[in-house]
Amino acid sequence: MATKKQIILPIAVLVGGIALAAGFSSMKKPPEEKPAVDTRPLVSTTAVHLDPINLDVKSYGVVKAKDHTMLVAQVSGQVVFVSEQFVQGGFVKQGDILARIDPNDYEAALIEAQAGMAQASADLEIERAQAHVAQAEWDRIKDNSSQVIPSQLYLRKPQLAEKLARYRAAQASEKRAKRNLERTYIKAPYDAIIAARDISLGSVVNPGNKFGELSSTSIAEIRLPVADKELQYLINGGIGATVTLSADFAGKPTQWQAKVVRSEGVIDQKSRMSYLVAQIATPYASEQPLRFGSYINATISGRELNNAIVVPHHLVKDGKIVVLNDDLTLSFKTIDIVREYNGMVIASQGLTEGQQLITSALEYPSEGMLVKINDADKPLGATQLALKEE
């Protein structure tokens, strides 16, 4: 039989354990409530501003003279005069004498031709007088009723024809002598810059020998290669378009204005490019001349879009772009892509003025997704947006 002590001790231990557990439980702090986490992705936006944009076409080329002439000797002889301006890089005016071939033989030939001309002229006049006398004599002695016809020889017509032929031959000889004497002068055919000189004082030349080369300074030309797909952005295929030429002059960036005057009308077999030809008048007339041989960059003025926007290419997927709605949800808008170049896209339709364009990269965007925006974003225009993304 259990004693009283055996019954009370287990009960006391149980009560003590319960009291101890209750004490520890009362010392434990309740868990703190965590604030709700905003899981919406943070995006940056910019306001859409539709601006006028020119669809200019970039190109390049080398400046060359429209007219380039090789000077060659047309008569033989020794070079007895060379102009101080007849040096490589020298500027000459139309008609300037660049060099002279010894004219003595050609002056003598002209004197001989002139003497022959005088003799032939005198013989012709004498023969005409004799023919006139013969005709008058026949008219005096002929019988009015007679049907006799005088011979051509009697009327001295063959003799007159011979003298006339000799006179014309003398005229040709005199003209040839004058022309050869004139050819002893080597003259500039137009305002030009000397590209090369191949003779010196005392040189002996023959017909066909090269004197030098010169390039006209009246008009410069630049062949501008343009890809076939770029022609769609030019009015009238680029004919008549204004061209801005850019190059360095004396270490400083300089620009000139030119105009496209023609298309070569064929596609180059190697580059598969079409070529437009731009011209600029008097390239050496300004303080900053456009020198022949210069490599230039060219911007050809193209069609103008009245309302367009330029956006980075990576923001456009399958012809769609992401915009932010007023309720902070995103939507996909289909845009009309006009042109893509240098990592940018030009669009003319699909967006409206003031729409918020999402410029942040989203991993898995979906229609109607809730997002939150960066308060630091400010509206930008088309040009500013393109600069920011670059």
Q: Are strands 330-334 and 204-205 parallel, antiparallel or unpaired?
A: unpaired
For the cut 70, the answer to whether the pLDDT of residue 279 exceeds it is: yes
For the cut 60, the answer to whether the pLDDT of residue 382 exceeds it is: no
Return the C-alpha torsion angle 153, 154, 159, 161, nearest 10. Answer: -70
For the cut 90, the answer to whether the pLDDT of residue 295 exceeds it is: yes
Q: What topology does CATH give the domain 59-63+218-304?
A: Elongation Factor Tu (Ef-tu); domain 3 (2.40.30)
> What is the distance between the alpha carbons of residues 215 and 292, in angstroms, rounded to a whole number?
9
Q: Is 353 helix (H, G, I), strand (E, B) or coil?
A: coil
pTM of structure: 0.70
For the cut 70, the answer to whether the pLDDT of residue 21 exceeds it is: no
In words, the CATH class of domain 72-100+189-216 is mainly beta
Span 110-167, pLDDT tens digits: 999 999 999 998 988 888 888 787 777 777 777 654 566 767 777 778 888 888 899 9
pLDDT class for 319, splitting at 50, 70, 90?
Answer: confident
For the cut 90, the answer to whether the pLDDT of residue 87 exceeds it is: yes
Q: Is 1 helix (H, G, I), strand (E, B) or coil?
A: coil
What would the two tokens of residue 373 be? Answer: 């925006």
Q: Report which of 193, 180, 156, 161 is spatially closest to residue 64, judged by C-alpha positions.
A: 193
pLDDT class for 104, splitting at 50, 70, 90?
Answer: very high
Q: What mean pLDDT is predicted for residues 39-48?
A: 75
DSSP 139: H
Region for 285 from its dihedrals, namely left if φ exceeds 0, alpha if ψ lies in -120 to 50, beta otherwise: alpha
For the cut 50, the answer to whether the pLDDT of residue 384 exceeds it is: no
Tell me the domain boundaries of the chain.
45-53+305-389, 59-63+218-304, 72-100+189-216, 104-182
Higher pLDDT, 196 or 24: 196
pLDDT class for 3, splitting at 50, 70, 90?
Answer: low
**What residues contact residue 330 under an 8 Å CB cut-off, 6+ apart?**
43, 322, 323, 324, 358, 362, 365, 367, 368, 369, 371
Whether 59-63+218-304 shares its CATH topology with 72-100+189-216 is answered no
CATH architecture of the domain 45-53+305-389 equals: Beta Barrel (2.40)
